[in-house]
Amino acid sequence: MTSTGPGRPRKQQPSRPGATAREEILDAAAELFTTQGYATTSTRSIADAVGIRQSSLYHHFGTKDDILEVLLAGTVAGGLAFARAVCAGSGDGSSPAARLHAVALYDGTQLCNARWNLGVLYNLPEARSARFGSFMADRRELRGLYRQLGADLPGNGWAGPEQNGDLAFRLVESLVSLRADGLATPESPLQAADAGIVLSGLADSLPAVRTESAALIRQAG
């Protein structure tokens, strides 16, 4: 038996990714919430999956909702930060289509490459309660940035200028369902981003848009 701190013995050696017990708890909860369901997952089962006592879990998180809040926030944090940066740098010479494509590609890659498909938690009734207002506000802001970018597109596509960005946002979030069905591939984020541009009436510009988009993502590091 190893120790996670004074009075918090671990039942077994760490077996999950994460440099800290907190990170291991989040990983275990993410797995259980997405595979067994949020309502049926107890804090005891999360602690057991980590190999710690339930009381040790409460040292890091007071309630199951606290864990869910952190996991939900993590699904939008990276995409939102990138979208903010792209919108702030709109005078950098990149085309509006490239900026929207880059945001969609970056966001979709984050959703598809996460260890667990946490986007499925968006549909939880609990996720829409006031308890998770901060997450919902971040998600609304991200959607608003998509709309802002889409409104700048010059194309006359299927959706129209008022809906271009929202369409791209929905295409990216559809990757969550695609992944849940076992149909997502490494190319899926790029395909979703491409589709947003094509449906905006800019199919002929797609090769150039892809090149610009990739440069914007590289600049983000």
For residues 163 and 196, membership in a common domain is answered with: yes
For residues 84 and 182, membership in a common domain is answered with: yes
What average pLDDT does range 59-78 have in this prediction?
96
CATH of the domain at 56: 1.10.10.60
Condensed to tens digits (0 to 9), the pLDDT of residues 177-195 reads: 999 999 999 999 999 999 9
Share of the chain above pLDDT 90, in %: 77
Residue 11 reports pLDDT greater than 60: no
**How confident is the model at residue 159, as a pLDDT?**
65
For residue 187, being part of any structural domain is answered with yes
| Domain ranges, residue 36 | 16-62
Residue 171 reports pLDDT greater than 70: yes
**How confident is the model at residue 81, as a pLDDT?**
96
This prediction's pTM: 0.88
What average pLDDT does range 159-171 have in this prediction?
86
For residue 1, being part of any structural domain is answered with no
What average pLDDT does range 79-89 have in this prediction?
94
Q: Under a CB-based contact definition with an 8 Å cutoff, are residues 121 and 72 in contact?
A: yes
For residue 181, being part of any structural domain is answered with yes
For residues 30 and 122, membership in a common domain is answered with: no
Q: Write out the H or E segment, with its range, that includes residue 203.
A: none
Residue 31 reports pLDDT greater than 50: yes
Q: Please, which residues bridge with residue 3 across strands?
A: 9
Q: Under a CB-based contact definition with an 8 Å cutoff, are residues 108 and 175 in contact?
A: yes
For residues 71 and 180, membership in a common domain is answered with: yes
**How confident is the model at residue 162, as a pLDDT?**
75
Q: Please, which residues bridge with residue 2 across strands?
A: 10
Confidence band for 93, pLDDT divided at 50, 70 and 90 = confident
For residues 87 and 172, membership in a common domain is answered with: yes
Choose among 15, 19, 39, 40: nearest CA to 28: 15
Specify the higher pLDDT residue, 162 or 79.
79
Distance (Å, whole) CA 100 – CA 123: 25
Range of lowest pLDDT (59-73, 79-93, 131-145, 175-189) = 79-93
Q: Under a CB-based contact definition with an 8 Å cutoff, are residues 113 and 122 in contact?
A: no
Total domains in the chain come to 2
**How confident is the model at residue 97, as a pLDDT?**
94
For residues 42 and 81, membership in a common domain is answered with: no
